[in-house]
């Protein structure tokens, strides 16, 4: 019997040679074979291998061909014979159905593209990406050094290599948060935002309304100028329907955003602003915008400004009649993906996939850790109880009545001696508070100073209580400057320690909250603090019933699962999702004012593929 290498050699001999094609998926033992050249004659082993393949049942041959690359090898295999052409068509349908079923049931697996020695794209986030004719195009974005790009890269999904096309024409400005869509053989780029430099004297932030098109055949950029242009936008949504590019929302700068709809007619090359009556979504940017069928656009989430994270959904009905907005009822909101404004979504069949961390699983794990961990006792200052020597309320002394332990002479000499003594044994609540504080040398000196002030104030009140006179007004407390100054010192001291106590309690609360966030590091495997989960939104009933359902999130954590990443791109390829770039950052920790690790900008390509029931 011929080996697997001979079988593949027979396949490649009867197909058209393609130097860019990858025969089979990585991990299959038959992937080590190479196709012979076009002029080489088939050997005896190749003829025997081809006869053996033709004698296999359709089920076995279908299983073998399902391991081919869907980007280039399907086309080559369909040219072998009519039987292979028929089987490959069935394999395409089955692989697509398996991908949709994996998204619905959560049977997905993360993969990382193996980098090669060829030139690679720079780390970036807030870029725009588009899948067009078996290539992934990436434009612009920001770097961690306050730099904005205007370069164009394409990822050859057959070879797993990055290619920077040699382009010409009028280049776009460096932009981030722009939109890139495909129409026929053109890529249309609109809007964007330029990152400011650390020194705004050289470059400040700017929002663009530039419109460019890129010809994928000639690799040429063209600037499109129209008499009527919309306002500069960033973080908006763009969808191509027939010969129209429909743009909704966007950031205009200075914390302002829009809920307007602009339509760019690609053939006529002009803009039209659509006016819609009735209820409409609030202004936003950073939302997900997908096309449902040929007559509806769904808007999911977004950001409406400071402290305005949105998770609502609106349906834009596009028909022959007037356009209209409809609010969508969201079911199972507890399963929704958090922070939809910085995690883009991608439409897969009748499902929208959003990749982000799972707050529900994280909170449940933190709660279980808190229940298993015994409570830590806290040291809290308790004020002392009042005793007989403590001042009590009395209207004659502005709210206090003194109780003397012994009689004091009325001479000023004895008063000055008593007030200048370093006696710390001063009764009352003030003395109890001072005794409960730490006994550092600096604190001891401060306690003595406060004790002298309390003793002097106590002496003055005892004299008033005994004589009932003070100066020329009987029955009133002393209003001498010395007594008022001592009382002011007492109030200032009490306010000082009150503020110190509040500050200490606030620091303890922040430390406890930070410990809760750190518990995530021991919850997930592979030392993942905030792993990303695949959240699925079912939109099959949106057009008919105006309802969308968040499905239950499944655990897909493995060795290739990335950490929480925001401002990445997510597009659909052939039977897989492609995630590129982004910045690893946990926004929830930043919003709570807790400690977070420095942001790490990425240029890694992740693939989300369905799990196979039969291991290759």
Mean pLDDT (10-residue bins), the chain, 616 residues = 42 39 35 39 60 83 89 89 93 94 93 78 95 96 90 93 94 96 96 78 81 97 95 96 95 90 96 93 96 95 91 92 93 93 95 89 53 51 49 41 41 39 40 43 55 53 46 49 71 78 70 48 53 95 96 84 94 96 78 57 94 60
Q: Model-level pTM greater than 0.75?
A: no
pLDDT value of residue 416: 39
* Tokens found for residue 115: 């980098």
Q: How far apart are CA 239 and CA 309, in angstroms?
A: 23
Full set of structural domains in the chain with CATH:
4-105 (no CATH), 112-357+530-610 (2.120.10.80), 395-519 (no CATH)
Q: How far apart are CA 4 and CA 29, in angstroms?
A: 8
* Tokens found for residue 197: 């430099």
Q: How far apart are CA 227 and CA 224, in angstroms?
A: 10
- Residue keyed to tokens 């992934």: 136
194 phi and psi, to 5 degrees?
-105, 130
What are the angstrom distances between the C-alpha of 187 and each of 137, 222, 259, 289? 9, 10, 25, 18
pLDDT value of residue 541: 96
pLDDT value of residue 496: 81
- Residue keyed to tokens 């402290």: 307
User: What sign does the dihedral 602-605-611-616 (CA atoms) show?
Assistant: negative
Q: How far apart are CA 153 and CA 135, in angstroms?
A: 10
Q: Is 344 helix (H, G, I), strand (E, B) or coil?
A: coil
Q: What is the dihedral of CA 462, 467, 472, 476, to 10 degrees?
A: 50
pLDDT value of residue 555: 77
Q: Quick check: 301 and 341 in contact, CB under 8 A?
A: yes
Length of the chain measured in residues: 616
Among residues 120, 132, 221, 125, the alpha carbon closest in space to that of 173 is found at: 221
Which helix (H) or strand (E) segment is 241 a member of? strand 237-241
Q: Quick check: 251 and 177 in contact, CB under 8 A?
A: yes
> Which positions ≥6 away from 563 have C-beta within 8 Å?
528, 529, 530, 531, 532, 584
Among residues 111, 140, 144, the alpha carbon closest in space to that of 127 is found at: 140
pLDDT value of residue 391: 45
Q: Is 541 helix (H, G, I), strand (E, B) or coil?
A: coil
Q: How far apart are CA 361 and CA 357, in angstroms?
A: 9
pLDDT value of residue 567: 95
């Amino acid at each position: 019997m011929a080996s697997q290498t001979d079988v593949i050699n027979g396949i490649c001999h009867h197909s058209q040679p393609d130097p860019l094609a990858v025969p089979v998926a990585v991990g299959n033992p038959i992937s080590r074979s190479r196709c012979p050249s076009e002029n080489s004659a088939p050997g005896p082993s190749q003829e025997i291998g081809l006869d053996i393949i033709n004698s296999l049942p359709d089920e076995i041959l279908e299983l073998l061909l399902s391991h081919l690359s869907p980007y280039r090898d399907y086309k080559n295999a369909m040219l072998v014979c009519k039987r292979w052409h028929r089987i490959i068509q069935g394999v395409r349908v089955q692989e697509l159905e398996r991908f949709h079923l994996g998204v619905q049931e959560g049977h997905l697996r993360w993969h990382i593209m193996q980098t090669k020695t060829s030139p690679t794209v720079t780390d970036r986030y807030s870029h725009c990406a588009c899948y067009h004719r078996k290539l992934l195009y990436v434009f612009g974005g920001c770097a961690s050094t306050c730099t904005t790009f205007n370069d164009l890269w394409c990822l050859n999904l057959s070879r797993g290599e990055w290619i920077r096309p040699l382009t010409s024409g009028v280049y776009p400005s460096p932009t981030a948060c722009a939109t890139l869509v495909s129409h026929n053989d053109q890529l249309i780029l609109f809007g964007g935002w330029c990152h400011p430099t650390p020194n705004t004297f050289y470059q400040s932030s700017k929002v663009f309304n530039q419109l460019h098109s890129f010809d994928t055949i000639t690799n040429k950029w063209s600037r499109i100028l129209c008499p009527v242009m919309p306002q500069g936008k960033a973080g908006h949504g763009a969808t191509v329907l027939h010969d129209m590019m429909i743009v909704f929302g966007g950031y205009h700068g200075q914390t302002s955003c829009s809920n307007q709809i602009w339509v760019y007619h690609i053939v006529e090359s002009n803009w039209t602003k659509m006016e819609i009556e009735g209820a409409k979504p609030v202004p936003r940017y950073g939302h997900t915008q997908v096309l449902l069928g040929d007559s509806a656009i769904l808007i999911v989430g977004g950001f409406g400004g400071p402290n305005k994270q949105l998770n609502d959904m609106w349906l834009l009905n596009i028909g022959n009649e007037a356009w209209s907005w409809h609010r969508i009822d969201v079911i199972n909101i507890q399963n929704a993906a958090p922070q939809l404004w910085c995690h883009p979504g991608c439409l897969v069949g009748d499902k929208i996939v959003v990749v982000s961390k799972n707050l529900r699983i994280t909170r449940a794990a933190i709660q279980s850790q808190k229940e298993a961990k015994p409570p830590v006792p806290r040291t809290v200052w308790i004020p002392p109880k009042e005793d007989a020597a403590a001042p009590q309320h009395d209207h004659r002394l502005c709210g206090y009545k003194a109780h003397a332990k012994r009689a004091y002479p009325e001479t000023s000499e004895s008063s000055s001696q008593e007030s200048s003594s370093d006696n710390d044994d001063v009764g009352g609540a003030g003395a109890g508070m001072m005794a409960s504080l730490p006994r550092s040398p600096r604190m001891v000196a401060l306690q003595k100073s406060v004790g002298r002030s309390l003793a002097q104030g106590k002496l003055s009140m005892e004299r008033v209580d005994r004589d009932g006179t003070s100066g020329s007004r009987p029955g009133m407390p002393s209003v001498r400057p010395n007594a008022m100054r001592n009382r002011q010192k007492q109030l200032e001291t009490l306010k000082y320690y009150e503020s110190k106590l509040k500050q200490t309690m606030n620091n303890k609360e922040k430390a406890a909250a930070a410990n809760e966030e750190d518990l995530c590091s021991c919850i997930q495997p592979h030392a993942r603090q905030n792993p990303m989960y695949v959240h699925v939104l079912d939109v099959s009933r949106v057009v008919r019933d105006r309802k969308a359902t968040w499905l239950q999130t499944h655990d897909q954590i493995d060795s290739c699962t990335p950490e929480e990443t925001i401002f990445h791109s997510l597009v659909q390829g052939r039977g897989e999702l492609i995630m590129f770039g982004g910045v690893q950052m946990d926004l929830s920790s930043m919003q709570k004012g807790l400690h977070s690790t420095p942001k790490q900008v990425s240029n890694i390509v992740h693939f989300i593929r369905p799990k196979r029931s039969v291991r290759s």
